[in-house]
Amino acid sequence: MRLRYLALIVYFGFLLLPIYWLVNMSLKTNVEITSGLTLWPQNLTFANYVTILTDQSWYSGYINSFIYVAMNTAISLTVALPAAYAFSRYRFIGDKHMFFWLLTNRMAPPAVFVLPFFQLYQTFGLFDTHIAVALAHCLFNVPLAVWILEGFMSGVPKEIDETAYVDGYSFPRFFLFVFMPLIKAGIGVTAFFCFMFSWVELLMARTLTSVAAKPIGAIMTRTVSAAGMDWGTLAAAGVLTIVPGVLVIYFVRNYMAKGFALGRV
């Protein structure tokens, strides 16, 4: 028993140390960072955070990221809900092949698509817009959403559908007012996963934007300049990208385990 907790503590230490180090650096001045190793900030400073939160070219990156992540989550859920219902309730021509095809898009390396994406979105006049990144991220988030939601929906007995239809519910009314409340937790978990994968992806987001919709991840590369690395600001920007994730995890912590268990074929 004691060994078990010791192992856990070691593992959590391994998880948290690199993050602690980032936070630590974000609260130091660049002079302190480069002049020697200090385990905690000797001259505590919030200047790095002030730089990011007051400079429009910095904080706009966060706003851009939030906009396309929100768009992506909304789109993914809207289209995935009916599709997942179809997969969980009906058998139709090519259903298995369709599901497999969706899954391959989740597995395909973004690098394969990046090249034509640039031109595709340019052609449709979507380059450097939030919706472009949101649509591109649908490539892997929609299949994932269908996959997880299908698992949750299969857990709802079919008798509920049948009773509702007998009671005279139309499909849209049944779906919105009876069925969706039943799988609330599943929708929450799916939204969490969509948020997560859209938030952490950078290759596509960077390729499809230049100025107006540039994500924070791409802006962070700015800290490399002729004058050397601006480590403090880089670390502060990194810490700020972790904060939304922490908040989201906190809200879904009780459903998270369930979501993983049910997300199956």
Site for other proteins in 112-131 (CB under 8 A): 112-117, 119-120, 123-125
Query: Residue 40 and residue 52: Cα distance in Å, rounded?
Result: 22
Query: Residue 62 and residue 223: Cα distance in Å, rounded?
Result: 16
Which of the ranges 40-48, 49-57, 180-188, 213-221 carries the binding residues for other proteins, by CB under 8 A? Answer: 213-221
Please say whether the beta carbons of 121 and 136 come within 8 A. Answer: yes
| Closer residue to other proteins, CB minimum distance, 50 or 224 | 224
Query: Residue 203 and residue 54: Cα distance in Å, rounded?
Result: 27
| Closer residue to other proteins, CB minimum distance, 55 or 240 | 240
Least spacing, CB of residue 120 vs other proteins, in Å: 6
Least spacing, CB of residue 258 vs other proteins, in Å: 7
220 binds other proteins, rule: CB under 8 A: yes
| Closer residue to other proteins, CB minimum distance, 54 or 104 | 104
Among 27, 187, 191, 216, indicate the residue that binds other proteins (CB under 8 A): 216
Least spacing, CB of residue 176 vs other proteins, in Å: 14
Sign of CA pseudo-dihedral 235, 238, 240, 245: negative
Which of the ranges 43-51, 52-60, 102-110, 177-185 carries the binding residues for other proteins, by CB under 8 A? Answer: 102-110
How many CA atoms does the CB half-sphere of 4 hold within 13 Å?
1
Sign of CA pseudo-dihedral 234, 235, 236, 237: positive
Query: Residue 98 and residue 75: Cα distance in Å, rounded?
Result: 19
67 binds other proteins, rule: CB under 8 A: no
According to CB under 8 A, which residues from 149 to 178 bind other proteins? Answer: 154, 158
Query: Residue 187 and residue 146: Cα distance in Å, rounded?
Result: 11
Among 17, 50, 63, 176, indicate the residue that binds other proteins (CB under 8 A): 17
| Closer residue to other proteins, CB minimum distance, 12 or 46 | 12
Among 67, 86, 131, 180, indicate the residue that binds other proteins (CB under 8 A): 86
Least spacing, CB of residue 230 vs other proteins, in Å: 12
| Closer residue to other proteins, CB minimum distance, 57 or 119 | 119
Least spacing, CB of residue 250 vs other proteins, in Å: 6
Treating both helix axes as pointing N-terminal to C-terminal, what angle do 130-154 and 184-200 enclose, rounded to 10 degrees?
Answer: 140
Least spacing, CB of residue 46 vs other proteins, in Å: 19
The token pair at 33 is: 């960072």
Residues contacting 48, CB < 8 A, separation 6+: 26, 27, 232, 233, 235, 236
